[in-house]
Amino acid sequence: MDPVRNPYAPGAGQRPPELAGRDRELQQFDVVLERIARGRPERSLVLTGLRGVGKTVLLNALRSQAIGRMWGTGKIEARPDQSLRRPLASALHMAVRELTPRHRDPDRVDGFLGVLKAFALRSAGNDAKLRDRWQPGIDAPAATGRADTGDIEVDLVELLVDAAGVARDVGVGIALFVDEMQDIPAPDVSALCAACHELSQQGLPLVVVGAGLPHLPAVLSASKSYSERLFRYVRIDRLDREAADRALVAPAEDEGVTYEAAALDALYAATEGYPYFVQAYGKVTWDNAPTDPIGADDVRMAAPEAEAELAVGFFGSRYERATPAEREYLRAMAALSDDTHGVVPTSDVATYLGRKPSSLSPARDSLIKKGLVYSAERGTIAFTVPHFGIYLRKHATV
Ligand SMILES: Nc1ncnc2c1ncn2[C@@H]1O[C@H](COP(=O)(O)OP(=O)(O)OP(=O)(O)O)[C@@H](O)[C@H]1O
Ligand SMILES: [Mg+2]
């Protein structure tokens, strides 16, 4: 089939040609937006799931929904060891700029921008040399006396309350999207929860929508006990058979190409409905199929190339980020895990490697920090990357 017309899109955050199987989440968020705009109490969404299931893509789709309702929006990708202050200031700046042309009182908007600037400038510390100071690019003089104490919790609560006030003047809200939310440093995650709590108590129209790995709910509850009442955790999972078929068939149909039923059987057997795998196999199968319709043989012929691309782009790039000690840990997990769940007791890893559990904690902790594994329950460990165990058993020898 003509590779130029290949519709599939494997890749981190790549918008799929068909966003299959996520209608319920999109509908839920529509209700959230409507209720919050009316000042009704509502929990925001936090999307959790393994690598490559489509969290980033869904987060972007939710953002489009908010933009469609004329809300101000901004997005952050959290990183370990990076304070929220700068990225959050930039995201909020963007959100408010979308609202400014519709605001009747430019002085009030400028007032908020001054508070935002003071908040942002706090990231450099008062005694930082001038050249080390980060310039937030906000066109207003920094205000004093609000969101500028240096205590992230106090400042964030004041800042988000003020931002929501500006949105309310315009009759809309602000939605802030936080990807890789599990990576926010502990004091900042606690501050963010506190701010969301305050916003919901005051019925103010600002929502924080998060996405992250499966242990994100545990990170949030460890931070503030009331976080379960602030967020609705939505597990984003692999696609069921019907949705996976639709993800493949709908984009092909637009190009006048069809699949034989046996080809779809073979594709689901290979991908198990994991969205990243669906796109990767769809792409290679399309390129290798000589004629329409695409048949089961075409899938079989394409499989080695699809696997090779995943080995490099999806698995290998992650494995390479691990140090030798971490790789040893990963390979032990792979040897001990079954293919469906991949949850392993940490004590088994230690026994397998003939080591004391405490001597393995540094490797385990840094793998968690790198987002390669997570601990769903105390004493257990699991891969964040689907099929990682299969990949490691096949390929990883060093
Ligand atoms: N609902 C869907 N239907 C079809 N394809 C999808 C769907 N969701 C995501 N994809 C595809 O899956 C791939 C991975 O998506 P995405 O990067 O959003 O995953 P992720 O969960 O954010 O992964 P990571 O944890 O690595 O950041 C992309 O190629 C995307 O096009
Ligand atoms: Mg992502």
CA of 256 to the centre of ligand 1 (A): 24
Checking if the pLDDT of 41 tops 70, the result is: yes
Name residues contacting ligand 1 (CB within 6 A): 9-14, 16, 19-22, 49, 51-57, 247, 275-276, 278-279
Position 125 confidence tier, pLDDT thresholds 50, 70, 90: low
- Mean of per-residue pLDDT scores for the chain: 93
Q: Which atom of ligand 1 is nearest to the CA of 53?
A: 21
Tell the residue nearest (CA) to atom 24 of ligand 1.
51
Q: How far is CA 198 from CA 95, 179, 233, in A?
A: 20, 22, 19
- pLDDT tens string 353-397: 999 999 999 999 999 999 999 998 889 999 999 999 999 998 866
Position 127 confidence tier, pLDDT thresholds 50, 70, 90: low
CA of 284 to the centre of ligand 1 (A): 17
Tell the residue nearest (CA) to atom 13 of ligand 1.
276
Position 147 confidence tier, pLDDT thresholds 50, 70, 90: very high
CA of 15 to the centre of ligand 1 (A): 8
pLDDT on residue 139: 83
Spatial CA neighbour of 51 closest among 240, 186, 179: 179
CA of 279 to the centre of ligand 1 (A): 9
Residues 6+ apart with CB under 8 A from 309: 10, 280, 284
Give, in degrees to the nearest 5, the angle at Cα 124 between 122 and 129: 130
pLDDT on residue 341: 66
Residues less than 5 Å from ion ligand 2, measured at CB: 56
- Pair 370, 385: CB distance under 8 Å: no
Instruction: Tell me the C-alpha distance between 252 and 256, whole Å.
Output: 6
Position 122 confidence tier, pLDDT thresholds 50, 70, 90: confident
Q: Give the number of the ligand closest to the Cα of residue 49.
A: 1
Tell the residue nearest (CA) to atom 12 of ligand 1.
276
DSSP string covering 309-374: HHIIIIIIHHHTTS-HHHHHHHHHHHHH--SS--EEEHHHHHHHHTS-HHHHHHHHHHHHHTTSEE
Which token pair is 143? 């205000």
- Ligand 1 pocket test, pick from 8, 22, 51, 56 with the greatest ligand atom count within 8 Å of Cβ, gives 56
Tell the residue nearest (CA) to atom 9 of ligand 1.
54
Mean pLDDT of the region 316-326 = 94
CA of 179 to the centre of ligand 2 (A): 7
CA of 110 to the centre of ligand 2 (A): 34
- Ligand 1 pocket test, pick from 213, 271, 279 with the greatest ligand atom count within 8 Å of Cβ, gives 279
Q: Which atom of ligand 1 is nearest to the CA of 51?
A: 25
Instruction: Tell me the C-alpha distance between 366 and 121, whole Å.
Output: 31
Checking if the pLDDT of 298 tops 80, the result is: yes
Q: Give the number of the ligand closest to the Cα of residue 58.
A: 1
Mean pLDDT of the region 130-156 = 83
Give, in degrees to the nearest 5, the angle at Cα 299 between 9 and 265: 95
- pLDDT tens string 70-116: 999 999 999 998 999 999 999 999 999 999 999 999 999 999 999 99
Instruction: Tell me the C-alpha distance between 56 and 165, whole Å.
Output: 28
Mean pLDDT of the region 50-54 = 97
- Ligand 1 pocket test, pick from 47, 53, 60, 309 with the greatest ligand atom count within 8 Å of Cβ, gives 53
Checking if the pLDDT of 132 tops 70, the result is: no
CA of 13 to the centre of ligand 2 (A): 6
* pLDDT above 90 as % of the chain: 87
